Structure 1
Amino acid sequence: MRRIAQRLAITTLPLTLLAASLSHASEISLPNTMAWTAYGTNSSGYAQAVALGNMLQSEYGTSVRVLPGDNDVSRMTPLKQGRVDLCACGISSYYGVEGVMMFAHEDWGPQPLRVITTSTASFGLSLAVAGDLEVKTPADLKGKRIAYIRGDDALNKGTEAYLAFGGLTWDDVERVDYPGYSRSFDGIIAGNVDASFTTTVTPPAQQLASSPRGISWPELDPNDTEGWERMKTVAPYFRPHEVTSGAGNVSSDNPVSSASYPYPIIVANSDIEDDVAYGLIKAMQDNYDQYKDSAPGAVGYALEYQDLQWVIPFHDAVVDYYKDIGVWTDKMQLHQEELVERQLLLLETWESFVSSAPSDEEDFKKAWMSVRANALTEAGFDPIFQ
């Protein structure tokens, strides 16, 4: 066990004392105006952000302006520059914390993000497979034609994770490149490719389900320990999830054992004021019934759906809130401390690296990924991304 565990074992106080020493006033204190970024206006993430903003306006007089962004850059740049308070982001927020993919660039680097809250709803994130194939599990994808979306690291990483669950890699399938996500589903319908990564409720998945090929979703046995270990080695943000909403007659009466991760992931920079972070999470939990039916997927903000040992650290004031309501445990505290230590190490490593980094973009990325992996390994962390 690393030194952080040893420190925690020595210094951890009973949770009741921690809550008493760190608890905030019961009053919710929020600014008069806030600005958030979110996915595009036709997305469930945008609709949820608007629903949350309406609740804050109604209950606390806080006016929330939601700025839609069609890609990761347009959503995360305003947060990086301090022009917005929050981002209702996707899994790119995790890549930002890790400083990988689009963030392994001199204009970005590791981002000091902290989670306020997340939504995990009834849908899943999976490979949509043509229904005319005998694909029951990811292992059945061997030899099949799998879509690779150029320029979309998140989707391709999801595909790679599903292949890993089945003990496969890209070398075990036929990779078919597409310039965009929607085009890959056109390709499945046309018979040119067999599977593409998506959410189970997305319109392209519904279109595939209505086509002559139909649709199927690979089953992930929640008890397949080795399969889940392989999947999390590639993408540690996935969790087992019983999917009850999806194309192809997926419902509560016909669920699919699959995987998911939160969407949206509402993050702020680590230096957002404690009162604001605490006020937000308390307001969202205290007024859950007011907004839970106001947007698709908004039910996922319930306390029971919060993964308190996920892959991005919570804001310190959010941790205080969970302590105050009595759900925070010593195990969660250890996990939080480890995530914070990892984040600080990445930020320090980046600061040292950029002072003498190569000027060429490709050389820069290659050198950073090597330095990053070495620093994490030496500190006892898994680099995950190589």
Structure 2
Amino acid sequence: MGQVLACRSRQRHLSDLAEIVYRKEVPVPRLQRRFCLREHRARPPARARRLAFGVSLLSLAFAAACGASPDAESPADEAVEGGTEGSAQTTGDAASIATHAVGLSYHTVGSALASLISNHSDISATVVATAGPNAWMPDLEAGNVDFGLLSVVDVGWSMEGGPGYENPAEHLRTVAQGAALHGSGLTVRADSGIERIEDLAGRRVASDYGGNVISARFVELGLESVGVGWDNVDAVPVADVSTGIDALRNGQVDAISGAAPTSPNLLDAHVATPVRILPVGNHTPADIADGVPSETQEMIDRLIPGATLATQPAGTGMLEEETVLIQHRVQLVSSDHVTADTVYAALDALWENYEEMHDAHPLAQWVPEDMVPSAPRAPYHEGAVQFYEDQGVWTDEHQQAQEELQTATAG
């Protein structure tokens, strides 16, 4: 079963790639070969496009004057093969943002962020779609991608070399905190007859989620919250969230980690085959009206540190009634391979023009007052520190947390 799903996942990725080519999106050669990644280059400002056109004409004229061979390898091609394509530190005017796969909320937000940065700075920002942070973190650490979007939960795990991360992240740096993400947790087809988590006993449940371990933890949390173990279900490995959604839609599994109810992939699946969310602990909004029960929160802290439960209203994505979901924050991160000037310029564009992202997706509802958490799980980038100091929002509490994290990282 796992091999079948993996094969179909490859077919889906090829379909995604065809769509990207249709949209004139440009692949990152080395990363594409390594991870089957896809990228979307946000359209640069008119000034940059005119400059690029002029440079192209000059290059053609120079090549003709010097009698250059049309088959000669260009320095740009050589640099791409060399291994830091997209790095703002290397190119000076380009930056890549790693996200989840096309069709998921993180990718939608990343595309909006790339467009905003490109339109309001001298940086040409590119989105690189992957299975999730467990897939792209090694390249951020190596300086092959410049920014990444992920959950605050994954920030903590990556710093510790926790679930899904082979080694602690030494170069990871916080840039900004985004909106609250509300994950569906266990999700089933509405026509399955499954009403409560206990009904999953003996059923096929998606597992593993190799490129995005937090999704596997959502499944584990849901099962454990009612005393159901992996030995009570039939675990079916899937590659990532999109693969799981496809498997549920096609009847290959009975329950998945359903991503956010606003995710384009889950919305599409819901239109074709209506789905139902099974809240953690089968909790209703009334159950958490006065706070999450302590035993439930303790379980969340153990399995998904940094998350909690929250109620989302009917009409949020595919929700038809008030529903208890798993809440955690999205964060924009970078690495110390990226220059302070690049991070400062990206933050300046975001800080001054954040409202331009708001129509893209509920997860794109970023606001300055939430962007600078005083208790980050990774040290701030030096460019971010300088920017927040200049805005007057960097406090003694921020500085203390920064020094503690820097000491822990150095150790």
If the length of structure 2 is used for normalisation, what is the TM-score?
0.60
Q: Is the contact between residue 35 and residue 64 of structure 1 (CA under 8 Å) also seen in structure 2? A: yes
Q: Is the contact between residue 157 and residue 163 of structure 2 (CA under 8 Å) also seen in structure 1? A: yes
Matches within 5 A, 1:216-365: 216-218=277-279, 219=283, 221=288, 222-244=291-313, 246=316, 248-250=318-320, 254-263=321-330, 265-293=331-359, 295-297=360-362, 299-306=364-371, 308=373, 309-322=375-388, 324-328=390-394, 331-345=397-411
Matches within 5 A, 1:1-386: 33-39=93-99, 40-70=101-131, 72=133, 75-89=136-150, 92-104=154-166, 109-121=168-180, 123-131=182-190, 132-135=193-196, 143=201, 145=203, 146-149=205-208, 151-152=210-211, 153-164=213-224, 166=225, 168=227, 170=229, 173-180=232-239, 181=241, 184-185=244-245, 188=248, 194-199=254-259, 200-203=261-264, 205-206=266-267, 209-210=270-271, 214-218=275-279, 219=283, 221=288, 222-244=291-313, 246=316, 248-250=318-320, 254-263=321-330, 265-293=331-359, 295-297=360-362, 299-306=364-371, 308=373, 309-322=375-388, 324-328=390-394, 331-345=397-411
**What is the CA-CA distance between 1:148 and the residue it aligns to?**
1.5
**What is the CA-CA distance between 1:215 and the residue it aligns to?**
0.9
1:286 partner SS: helix
If the length of structure 1 is used for normalisation, what is the TM-score?
0.63
Greater relative contact order structure (CA < 8 Å, 6+ sep)? 1
List per-residue Cα deviations over 1:40-65 (Å, max 9, x = no partner).
45444344334333333333332223
- Per the alignment, do residues 79 and 150 of structure 1 end up closer, same or farther by CA in structure 2, a change over 3 Å counting? closer
Q: Is the contact between residue 141 and residue 173 of structure 1 (CA under 8 Å) also seen in structure 2? A: no
**What is the CA-CA distance between 1:231 and the residue it aligns to?**
0.5
Q: Show structure 1 runs of 5+ residues with no match.
A: 1-29, 346-386
Cα separation, 1, equivalents of 2:410 and 2:137: 20
Q: Is the contact between residue 167 and residue 227 of structure 1 (CA under 8 Å) also seen in structure 2? A: no
- Per the alignment, do residues 328 and 223 of structure 1 end up closer, same or farther by CA in structure 2, a change over 3 Å counting? farther
Stretch deviating more after TM superposition (62-71 or 221-230): 62-71
**Which letter maps to 1:343?**
T
**What is the CA-CA distance between 1:111 and the residue it aligns to?**
3.5
2:235 partner SS: strand
Q: Is the contact between residue 182 and residue 325 of structure 2 (CA under 8 Å) also seen in structure 1? A: no
Other-structure match for 2:73: none
List per-residue Cα deviations over 1:68-98 (Å, max 9, x = no partner).
4455476334423323322234565544322
**Which letter maps to 1:236?**
P
Q: Is the contact between residue 181 and residue 327 of structure 2 (CA under 8 Å) also seen in structure 1? A: no
1:60 partner SS: coil
Cα separation, 2, equivalents of 1:342 and 1:168: 37
**Which letter maps to 2:324?**
S
Cα separation, 2, equivalents of 1:329 and 1:163: 41
Percent identity over paired residues: 20
Cα separation, 2, equivalents of 1:320 and 1:34: 21
